[in-house]
Structure 1
Amino acid sequence: MRLTLWTGFWVFLADQATKYIVVHALGLMERLQIEVIPGILEFRMAWNRGVNFGLFAGFDMRWALIGLALAISGAVLAWIARDGGGRLALVSAGLLVGGALGNVVDRVLYGAVADFLNVSCCGISNPYAFNIADIAIFVGAVGLVMFGGDKTRPERGPGRGGKGRSGHDAKNP
């Protein structure tokens, strides 16, 4: 669990630090666009009031999304505390929780999530922006699907209070 909390802490810190540097220190809020690597990476200011890719941005969902992010973070932490998991599952949980809390702070402070990373390639312009928290949430969710759960725990067999291979209770055949 300690690995999950430390991972979450560092993701949260990296997310908030990059948002502060890019949005405030570099003045992206006023400039709206800063080219970093021409044709590949630019900082593009986007305030996401909705969910992924700005879906449902027309609705005032700020507090519902904050509540949902906190509930999911709490559920993931409870799951990891209860079931544990390997290092990759613990890191994945920390990535998801740290990213979710980073976006929660944005919604509380600004009413929307500050997105600023825009990656394009090969002459194709990407209209969407994202942030460090979004990357962490995505990677953490995929990691939990791939590595979550205790896949090393042996199946409970007869004599251990569980059901055997036949599916019948060991105490009541």
Structure 2
Amino acid sequence: MARGNGNGRASLWPWLAWAVLLVIADQFTKTLILGYYRLGDATYVTSFFNIVRAHNTGAAFSFLADAGGWQRWLFTGIAVATAAFILWQLRAHPGQKLFCFALSSILGGAIGNVVDRLQHGYVVDFLDFHLRGWHFPAFNVADAAITVGAACLILDELLRVRRER
């Protein structure tokens, strides 16, 4: 079903500002990690969380990390195409707050990781959660934004379906 604007006077700019804020926060934290940590360095924070410096040449959970380098351009291309689609959707539906928050979060995260891929050839990860020897793959602010955005997209769709009943 087509999504209505929800507000004829809604603006695209707050959503773009949110995406830019996420990119800035992501790149700032990654700059700190690159400046203060060597690859593999870690700092104990709590019994379940460390700050580490890790490089991911692949996608989520290091998918295709050992593919030989071509994946850098594949993932960059996918992110650029996704960003264009998201911009189109944000422009079409700026008044749908949860939907646009979700998309702009994904947009900011995708751009943050593309900056890394273009600048370094890998994505800088540094948030390391663990429990009893099990480690969740390290991630970063951009990854967290993408995850929150995806969860909000699911919630938005569930709420939309519920409203239509």
Question: TM-score surpassing 0.5?
Answer: yes
User: Equivalent residue for 1:70?
Assistant: 80
Structure 1 distance, partners of 2:114, 2:92, is: 25
One-letter amino acid of the structure 1 residue matched with residue 48 of structure 2: I
Structure 1 distance, partners of 2:130, 2:13, is: 37
Q: How far has the Cα of 1:92 moved from its partner?
A: 1.2
User: Equivalent residue for 1:34?
Assistant: 43
Higher helix proportion (structure 1 or 2): 2
Structure 2 unmatched ranges of 5 or more: 1-11
Residues 7-156 of structure 1 aligned to structure 2 (within 5 Å): 7-24=18-35, 27-29=36-38, 32-37=41-46, 39-59=47-67, 60=69, 61-121=71-131, 123-126=132-135, 128-147=137-156, 151=160
Q: How far has the Cα of 1:112 moved from its partner?
A: 0.4
Q: CA contact under 8 A between 2:106 and 2:146: conserved in structure 1?
A: yes
User: Equivalent residue for 1:160?
Assistant: none
Structure 1 distance, partners of 2:109, 2:39, is: 25
SS at match of 1:29: coil
Q: How far has the Cα of 1:30 moved from its partner?
A: 5.1
Structure 1 unmatched ranges of 5 or more: 156-173
Structure 2 distance, partners of 1:42, 1:31, is: 12
RMSD: 2.4
Q: Normalization by structure 2: what TM-score?
A: 0.81
Q: Normalization by structure 1: what TM-score?
A: 0.78
Structure 2 distance, partners of 1:98, 1:83, is: 17
Structure 2 distance, partners of 1:85, 1:138, is: 22
SS at match of 1:47: strand
Structure 1 distance, partners of 2:75, 2:121, is: 11
Structure 2 distance, partners of 1:141, 1:85, is: 19
* Higher RCO (Cα < 8 Å, 6 or more apart): 2
Structure 1 distance, partners of 2:50, 2:34, is: 13
One-letter amino acid of the structure 2 residue matched with residue 143 of structure 1: C
User: Equivalent residue for 1:170?
Assistant: none
